[in-house]
Structure 1
């Protein structure tokens, strides 16, 4: 049997013309493209008729005449590797493709150059002469003549697979199919400058995915009636939930989002779809476990987000869908693992790692083993089947591709059961993370037909993880050096994790000063988780731009709490108060900050003690510092805010203080003294004038005053005249230093 199945690989590119008598062959041109678009039933029963339809296209410059379409059945295939060989083979080979089944052909009189036409063949199952249970190759050929050939020959062929089983197997293969609901990152860290914190989207592309006909809408619509396990990134749910409310699209004049109705409908449909299904929640944001393992471990805080991401995943799904999800599964990219990835994947409590058969190979087994493999430490590797998982990765928008993929999927599933029919196996299928709408349609078609065929029984992922492991299956986790280089090139670099760590540190410093820290911690914490998403693979520029935007927005918020710049202040005295103003342009209040002044000349100017500050949102507040001047001259004063743990907050503010001795109060005292002197002089003048008047009156009355005044002698005689010396009890005037100048025109200082 091995030799027979190997022959087609050697000469499979030959095209053999029909010989009327003995079937002798000679190579013929590959002139016509034959495409099988559909086959039904996909897995026929005994009394069914197989219908194969498709398209013929003449790729030559000559007309093809006297042609017909025929069906060929090859011998039953022996194993899964031979299935793959059939789908890759080109050209007609009589020994492998078998003779044409007579009496079931379709005549084609003429096929002009460059033209196409459809065909349909109907063949009863009994005429296929199926010898027993198994997978049979079917070939559709166009045979005819060309101007250069006077005899009929096969001018083109296309193949498909026919799985056939007369009765249900005694032990059906248990099959778990993962149905992923995952998207790329759409929400920004930014929120609107309002009390509702209106979410801001990076773009509005998610609306097309969840709208009718979109890929995520199709996934929900199809998955509702399929025996699948939903695997959900909770970030997708949180993003769509944010879309149900007023939102804005990022940009200088970003428009208001208008897809609230679409978002509400999708969430409602999903809530209904998951009813009765198992739901597995990936860590929030679907973190790239391989990137974390290979590059993030060198950054101390990188792995600290996995635990919170897992907790948030459970809370998000439960809150939005009303379903308690399983969070004990992780899913590295493409199921590729090594020892370091497994360590990271299980570090947050998820002890089941979904991997793939091309990571844990079973080269020495003649059958497909059960998916669950204990790998030590209480952890289990769930090894998904590689071929079944990759069955729908192509362009399924072409009906021919979708039809062949469905037939191949069913053939592989049947062959698993035929490999060792006495031993029941549990198989897991983990398809591509973000299937297109066409791929989802093909996947759903395969599952519906598989359910009708009755060769398998659907199983939940949780049950697959508990299945009895095959003792002969490979359980050795590959080393780090064996990780595929193509995937390694797409990983986030170490610098990305350093930038994420710096952003987290800045967020930690910022939140401690806020009166309502949750308004900032939630959107930024989620954004930091999104920065490590697997969706950034293949988009390094987008990933870098997202990380930078998160940090820039955070820096912009922290700068909204700042010190208002001061001009030069003049301190004209021994002591005074210096006001420093804190501006808070946030919507919420700040507290727990300390405002501290530092003098460049503390021996000249003592700026007083630091102060605890509290400023309401949208307000500014001045804080007054009692200062003491010890000497004249200039001093630079630096004002800065500090967090409770002594870390500087924001930029410092420096201003100049000019220290003098003449203060406004002293000037008032001097002015008051001058006024008193003037008043004293006026009093003396009035007294002397009155005395003189009295003296004149006495003379007129014959009285002699004795030549003296009523108030006593003048200054020469020591009386209280205008120039009398200062008394010990008089206040000492504050005249200031000889070098002191007038007060500058700078900022006034409160005293």
Structure 2
């Protein structure tokens, strides 16, 4: 027979100095976590966790509670593990239950639930240990653990009214400093007890995120049809049986009424994987995709089956699909660091439209696209304004952004925040239960029992009034956490105090007049450190201008426009908040690949051209390494000293794929020596722009005849001709008879007249006769 455990009096108190110090430290930490902003952990502490101490060396973990919700006549079974965390052996170890305190009254409110969670070492508030139904574990040496399974009829727990009760698992034993059995450890969880009908179940909306970090890159393998390229093949694992996304679809498909929040970029990526695709080899991001730096993807069958299963799941009765903007751009980062960038607002609007079209096209179902979901649901005035500017009128928000500390009940989820926007505020306590990975039985049981307790108490706050509640898990919801959430929602519905509805129903419910609607001006500093910086967002937006320049010369721009436009938005994805290094690598890959494409059309460098003579030809070569023809280009050749060496006008360029062309420019030189020339590609059209880097070289003129010599030679010839003419005229006059002339010029006037006529090339009648 097991000896009754002694509980009252000094046995429940800490009797060693080290125990007192541990308890005081534990209390101070708990108080500090409440009072100091930013110290609160992101996830609530497990209900059953109590740190071991010298006074209480037994650590207890609860693996399961059956049934999750008790009713009159039930027998409650708890399984788990007891471990000896002390340095000495524990003897006569037994495990059993405690009868709840407060004379069979349930926990009255949500603050009472929180007090149970934060309670440390065993106290009288945990109730009285039951002497019946205890399981003996014998001796536990230091570090040893032992599984247990204990049962108790609900009637022996002395629960009365319907509601939530603390369910404490008590461990007793003998320690070296006390030879009488006493409490050496405790685990706490919650037991919802239902013994009456619920008049108005809480309308519960659960966001079910289907997201993944971006995988498609801007590169494609050019064939008759472009072959998509992924940065790695991890998505194939997630889509395959047992993978995270596979489990999310399988689990969510069993919950009609879910709100599926989907990144359309993921749908596009999975659809691309249903056909042959390639995967980049490590350290090749930014390189043009080729057989040598990619491998064949392995996820075709998994992608095909997953997409089929998702289409079936989202078509469940009462379910709703919300399409995030394409690639889920980081709304908070953009609002704080990029809202004023040229083209950003347009990019966000296009992402929203593309997201809706993609989701509806891939899933064959109507999708809602006016919903914003900032990172971790944190909202401020800048984020709300940016969302409103791009047409997102509903914002999924964490209760941490719009707390209701002055109310004695939990208000409805939806509330107006001005300018036609509605914030649907998630309950932080409930939502945060599913932040960690709940893949272990202990973690899942802790979260499920706390969820049931919280939602039951919320429903009982105003039992005669219909209530609404939003559960907002993280974007990266794990398979284990999804399973725990689905079980919790299912048990709450079976208990009758909750009914699963979609987001539309909750968003349209009337708001509580006293609920907080003041959007804060401040944003948590702990989240600002992970935002995309203004410089990073500026670099992303600069891609558009460079891309437009490239597209203007391509004869098939559609082969580049789509992949790059999508890659730009993927570069700003919210997914990079939790994967900073991967995000930087992805953005660098996009930038480098665009540099590679732009640089594939270029002038061939040269340093010196020799021009032997006063005229000649300057050759300029242009190369196209792209897999498509280019046009709408000119080559301009400009001389730094056109008075010495001048060239002909620009020439148009039309180049087939992967070819080169040499252009001939006529040049005219007037002096020997070197002259710097600049060749530049320029786009044609109404707004011509330089394309690529200029090529600067020198034209060296080596054998031009000086223009001065031509002038001097011409003058000498004219003087000789004039002298010959003068001599011939003298001879002619000497041979003719003298006669009375008419008035003739004399002296200097006659000489000048003759020289003038000779210089002008005039011929006197007598001159013609001399020539025969």
Q: TM-score, normalised to structure 2's length?
A: 0.79
Determine whether 1:339 maps to 2:381: yes
Q: Which secondary structure state, in structure 2, belongs to the residue aligned with residue 346 of structure 1?
A: helix
Which range is displaced more, 377-386 or 99-108? 99-108
Q: Which secondary structure state, in structure 1, belongs to the residue aligned with residue 308 of structure 2?
A: helix
CA distance, structure 1, for counterparts of residue 547 and residue 8 of structure 2: 84
CA distance, structure 2, for counterparts of residue 144 and residue 564 of structure 1: 87
Match of 1:716 in 2: none
Cα displacement string for residues 287-314 of structure 1 (whole angstroms, at most 9, x for unaligned residues): 1111111111343333332111111111
**CA offset at residue 196 of structure 1?**
3.6
CA distance, structure 2, for counterparts of residue 395 and residue 248 of structure 1: 29
**CA offset at residue 194 of structure 1?**
4.3
Determine whether 1:241 maps to 2:267: no
CA distance, structure 2, for counterparts of residue 196 and residue 573 of structure 1: 53
**CA offset at residue 195 of structure 1?**
4.9
1:625-664 matches, cutoff 5 A: 625-629=665-669, 634-644=674-684, 645-659=687-701
CA distance, structure 1, for counterparts of residue 8 and residue 470 of structure 2: 49
CA distance, structure 1, for counterparts of residue 395 and residue 491 of structure 2: 29
Match of 2:425 in 1: 383
1:310-389 matches, cutoff 5 A: 310-389=352-431
Cα displacement string for residues 70-102 of structure 1 (whole angstroms, at most 9, x for unaligned residues): 1113241111121122122122222x1112334
Say if 1:20 and 1:34 are closer, same or farther in 2 by CA, change over 3 A.
closer
**CA offset at residue 55 of structure 1?**
1.0
Q: How many residues are paired up?
A: 645
CA distance, structure 2, for counterparts of residue 37 and residue 232 of structure 1: 33
CA distance, structure 2, for counterparts of residue 343 and residue 374 of structure 1: 14
**CA offset at residue 386 of structure 1?**
0.6
Q: Which secondary structure state, in structure 1, belongs to the residue aligned with residue 539 of structure 2?
A: helix
Say if 1:584 and 1:195 are closer, same or farther in 2 by CA, change over 3 A.
farther
Counterpart selection for 1:87 from 117, 131, 139: 117
CA distance, structure 2, for counterparts of residue 463 and residue 604 of structure 1: 81
Q: Which secondary structure state, in structure 1, belongs to the residue aligned with residue 296 of structure 2?
A: coil
Match of 2:71 in 1: 45
Determine whether 1:456 maps to 2:498: yes
Counterpart selection for 1:209 from 238, 241, 247: 238
CA distance, structure 2, for counterparts of residue 355 and residue 540 of structure 1: 23
Cα RMSD between the aligned structures? 2.4
CA distance, structure 2, for counterparts of residue 269 and residue 626 of structure 1: 68
Counterpart selection for 2:454 from 412, 415, 431: 412
CA distance, structure 1, for counterparts of residue 183 and residue 7 of structure 2: 13
Query: Is the 8 Å Cα contact of residues 249 and 257 (structure 1) preserved in structure 2?
Result: no
Q: Which secondary structure state, in structure 1, belongs to the residue aligned with residue 451 of structure 2?
A: helix
Say if 1:110 and 1:631 are closer, same or farther in 2 by CA, change over 3 A.
closer
Match of 1:732 in 2: none
Which range is displaced more, 300-309 or 168-177? 300-309
Counterpart selection for 1:157 from 186, 201, 207: 186
Counterpart selection for 2:549 from 491, 497, 509: 509
Which range is displaced more, 575-584 or 432-441? 575-584
Cα displacement string for residues 561-617 of structure 1 (whole angstroms, at most 9, x for unaligned residues): 112345754555665554433211111111212221212232344322223322122
Determine whether 1:19 maps to 2:6: yes
Match of 1:105 in 2: 134
**CA offset at residue 130 of structure 1?**
1.7
Cα displacement string for residues 379-434 of structure 1 (whole angstroms, at most 9, x for unaligned residues): 11111111111012234233112101100001111111111112211111111110
Match of 2:444 in 1: 402
**CA offset at residue 477 of structure 1?**
0.5
Match of 2:569 in 1: 529
Cα displacement string for residues 648-706 of structure 1 (whole angstroms, at most 9, x for unaligned residues): 1011123444557889xxxxxxxxxxxxxxxxxxxxxxxxxxxxxxxxxxxxxxxxxxx
Counterpart selection for 2:332 from 290, 294, 307: 290
CA distance, structure 1, for counterparts of residue 11 and residue 549 of structure 2: 84
Say if 1:219 and 1:139 are closer, same or farther in 2 by CA, change over 3 A.
same
CA distance, structure 2, for counterparts of residue 197 and residue 484 of structure 1: 44
**CA offset at residue 66 of structure 1?**
3.0
Match of 1:670 in 2: none
Which range is displaced more, 185-194 or 27-36? 185-194
Counterpart selection for 2:341 from 275, 287, 299: 299
Match of 2:745 in 1: none
Q: Which secondary structure state, in structure 2, belongs to the residue aligned with residue 363 of structure 1?
A: coil
Which range is displaced more, 519-528 or 248-257? 248-257
CA distance, structure 2, for counterparts of residue 405 and residue 491 of structure 1: 30
Say if 1:595 and 1:34 are closer, same or farther in 2 by CA, change over 3 A.
same
Match of 1:667 in 2: none
Which range is displaced more, 281-290 or 145-154? 145-154
CA distance, structure 1, for counterparts of residue 8 and residue 69 of structure 2: 34
CA distance, structure 1, for counterparts of residue 704 and residue 406 of structure 2: 99
Query: Is the 8 Å Cα contact of residues 7 and 182 (structure 2) preserved in structure 1?
Result: no
CA distance, structure 1, for counterparts of residue 188 and residue 143 of structure 2: 22
**CA offset at residue 113 of structure 1?**
3.2
CA distance, structure 1, for counterparts of residue 604 and residue 182 of structure 2: 91
Which range is displaced more, 140-149 or 429-438? 140-149
Match of 2:754 in 1: none
Query: Is the 8 Å Cα contact of residues 496 and 544 (structure 1) preserved in structure 2?
Result: no
Cα displacement string for residues 331-377 of structure 1 (whole angstroms, at most 9, x for unaligned residues): 01111111001011222111101111111011111111111111111
**CA offset at residue 228 of structure 1?**
1.5
CA distance, structure 2, for counterparts of residue 538 and residue 152 of structure 1: 49
Match of 2:595 in 1: 555
Query: Is the 8 Å Cα contact of residues 236 and 298 (structure 2) preserved in structure 1?
Result: no
CA distance, structure 1, for counterparts of residue 499 and residue 474 of structure 2: 22
Which range is displaced more, 393-402 or 514-523? 393-402
Say if 1:259 and 1:25 are closer, same or farther in 2 by CA, change over 3 A.
closer
Which range is displaced more, 537-546 or 469-478? 537-546
